[in-house]
Structure 1
Amino acid sequence: MKKLLFMRHGLLEKNYQDYSILGFKDLENLLTKKVISKIDREKTKHFLLKKDLIKEVNLIISSTELRAMETGEMVKSLISAESETSSDLNEIIFYEGIISKEDVEKHDFDYLRREILTKFFNSVSSEDFNSAQRRFLHFLDSVKKLEYENILCITHGWFMRLISIYKMKKTLNDISLQDLLDAPVPSFLEIIEINE
């Protein structure tokens, strides 16, 4: 049985550590990847050193996005493990229109989070919801074929919600919007363990 540790990437640079304080343009640019934020290496390393689970890892798979690859490189510098990348772990794709300036100005981030997840569930201004689910399931199928037993999979916050649902239900069939809205909000470097 494989132990898969799905971890959200490291803490972002100072300006992007707290999405709730971002203005409309900064938040939209971050969601639509018009701005590529890097991780805060010092803070990320500090928190990684406290994660005993990663010491067992013999393979690190990072999404192909910069902040996940940077996190993977930092983990690799702390432990002896092979590493590779997989676009199956990339963040959900969002497009302009995923949030509105009016919503950002009038509502708190909890409201915005629900709006973003609702649009994602309905495939509005985002990657197709079913496509994102298939991407995760494809990743699971591919890692089952690997010879490694303890695999750290570095991914992203919005995508982690699908992983959380999978852990709870052991499937991604018949997911409801409420399931998506109820999925825990992952912190930076939070780990969800799945045994397959």
Structure 2
Amino acid sequence: MIKTLYEIFQHWSAKGSVYLLSDLHLDDDDCLLMDPDWIPPEEQIWIINNKVTRNDTFICLGDVGSSDYAAQIKAGHKVLLLGNHDRRKDYKDIFDEIYEGPLFISEKILLSHEPVYGLPWCLNIHGHDHNGIEPYAEGCKHLNLAANVCGYTPVSLGLLIKGGILADISSIHRQTIDRVAERKQMKEQFYRGIEMLSED
């Protein structure tokens, strides 16, 4: 069980591990335009099914591709964040949960299809960018799991957390408390300065 997940998402890890991957583009014609070394959908499904078991949750961060191939993913629970190429109706019978837009799954973890910027208090796990992305872009820590960027292999959320990926991220609560304390200190210094001026 991944205790850091918000309670509403803890069922994802109740029976097994939680794996993430994005931009499978299963059997999409334009894959080779994005990456000339794009692997065939049969090979992608084989890689996923050799990593993810029937007890695990598989989360696709968008741009699934062929629903026929997606149906072959053998995870016990499947979650989809819709990507810019996805339509809910194509996957409603394949995925157990489907979300639109970014999804906070814990205090410090934001899942999205496209990268989200300007949130220094969270890790943004996403796809969409097939060329990779800087780990810290515009003040936000990113992990790009587009299939061709991470070797077409699902990544374990539990192992990421245990590995310390969140260790250098201050929570929004900590940052808010620090800002309030800083403002209070500045205000006190300001009033001390005024008192000193009025004493002279």
TM-score by length of 2: 0.35
More helix by share: 1
Larger Rg: 2
